[in-house]
Structure 1
Amino acid sequence: MTKLNRKAFFLDRDGVINVDHGYVSSPDSFEFVAGVFEACKIIVNHGYDIIIVTNQAGIGRGYYSEEQFAGLTVWMREQFKERDIHITDVRYCPHHATHGQGEYLKDCAFRKPNPGMIVAAAREHGINVAESVLVGDKMSDIQAGQSAGIPALFLVDSHYDADGVASGYQRCGSLLEAVRLYFA
């Protein structure tokens, strides 16, 4: 069996990397969260991969296409690359169990809170999830991380309700704060 010697920060996109304006699909509506580049620089300088795992129900709902999402992802990765930050992978799930249209109407193992995106990315990139971190802004992110076996979980404070859900995560104000807490 291959030794899993890499570790990663699994990051949600909307609400962690960019301001969640709701169904962001183009660079002109994509606003990076303050401190995100500094946080990601710290992450890579500590030897962690960065893997983005994002639900994209806007595709399934017909608000934008997979091609538009792909174009935005290329642009976003270029913004990081210009700052010498490598994004190892971007995983997304376009499906929604109740609001998807056509082929996108399905309950998918990759849609958070299911751990499919994390598990698949970890397998492909040789990531040891037991030494990894997840930062999200919804309880579905935290639940996906827990199900995947990630021990270090951070919930960025957002407008989403997190009351009444299991413990095992730390609250923080931003990705930068999560990174500072983790490496303190």
Structure 2
Amino acid sequence: MKNAIFIDRDGTINVDNHYVHNISEFYFIDNVINAMIELKKMNFFLIIVTNQSGIAQGLFTQKEFMSLTRWMISYLQLYCIHINAIYFCPHHLQGTVKQFRQNCLCRKPKPGMLLDAKKRFNINMDASYMVGDTANDMLAGQLAGIGTNVLVRSGKKNNKKS
């Protein structure tokens, strides 16, 4: 069995600038690349699990999401970081794009994306981690039987005035 780090994207890997869907809006959070390098050295599978309701809301297309995802993967490969899998949920009940307006099993806090990865890669969920920036990320990890759930606040904008 493999041990994995399940990682949310927006607010965990990159700064959450609301519906990030192109390269010019994508900013890696400070030290996230260094953290991923260390996790790979520890032989963890790195699996991104991300809700992308902007697709269902018609704010960007699945093709635009995939283009940004390919760029992100290529950029991380420059640092010898291999992302083992990316799971995303394009659904939302209030979506304006009919094909994505649905109640699904993959939208966090439901654990569908994590459970699909568990089955595909034979993951030891007890020894794995869910890292995210929302309560929905933590609940998805708990419902999937993840051993350790880590809530981070690194992707939130600092509203302090200086």
State the TM-score, normalizing by the size of structure 1: 0.82
* More moved, 76-85 vs 121-130: 121-130
Alignment of 1:1-184 (within 5 A): 5-157=1-153
State how far apart, in whole Å, the 2-side matches of 1:101 and 1:151 are.
36
Instruction: Give 2:159's aligned residue.
Output: none
Q: SS of the residue aligned with 1:52?
A: strand
**Alignment size in residue pairs:** 155
Quick check: 2:57–2:94 contact (8 Å CA) kept in 1?
A: no
C-alpha distance in structure 2 between counterparts of 1:100 and 1:87, whole Å: 31
Superposition CA RMSD, Å: 1.0
Aligned-partner Cα distance in 2 for 1:112–1:44 = 25
Separation (CA, whole Å) in 2 of partners of 1:99 and 1:69: 16
CA distance in 1, matches of 2:83, 2:122: 15
CA distance in 2, matches of 1:123, 1:100: 32
Deviation, 1:122, is 1.4
- Name whichever of 9-18 and 92-101 sits farther off: 92-101
Q: Which amino acid in the other structure matches residue 43 of structure 2?
A: G
Using the TM superposition, give the Cα deviation of residue 99 of structure 1 relative to its aligned residue in structure 2, in angstroms: 3.3
How far apart, CA to CA, are the structure 1 residues paired with 2:92 and 2:127?
A: 30
Distance in 1 (CA, whole Å) between partners of 2:17 and 2:57 is 16
1: CA distance between counterparts of 2:2 and 2:96? 35
1:171 paired residue number: none
Displacement of 1:100 in angstroms is: 4.6
My pick for the range that moved more, 86-95 or 120-129, is 120-129
Q: 1:110 to 1:9 in 2, by over 3 A?
A: same
In the TM superposition, residue 101 of structure 1 has moved relative to its aligned partner by 2.6
Per-residue deviation, 1:14: 0.1
Give the unaligned 5+ runs of structure 1: 160-184
Gaps of 5+ in 2: 157-162
Alignment partners' CA distance in 1, 2:132 and 2:96: 23
For the 8 Å contact 1:100–1:106, the answer to whether it is kept is no
Quote how far apart the aligned CAs of 1:151 are: 1.6
Query: Identity, % of aligned pairs?
Result: 39
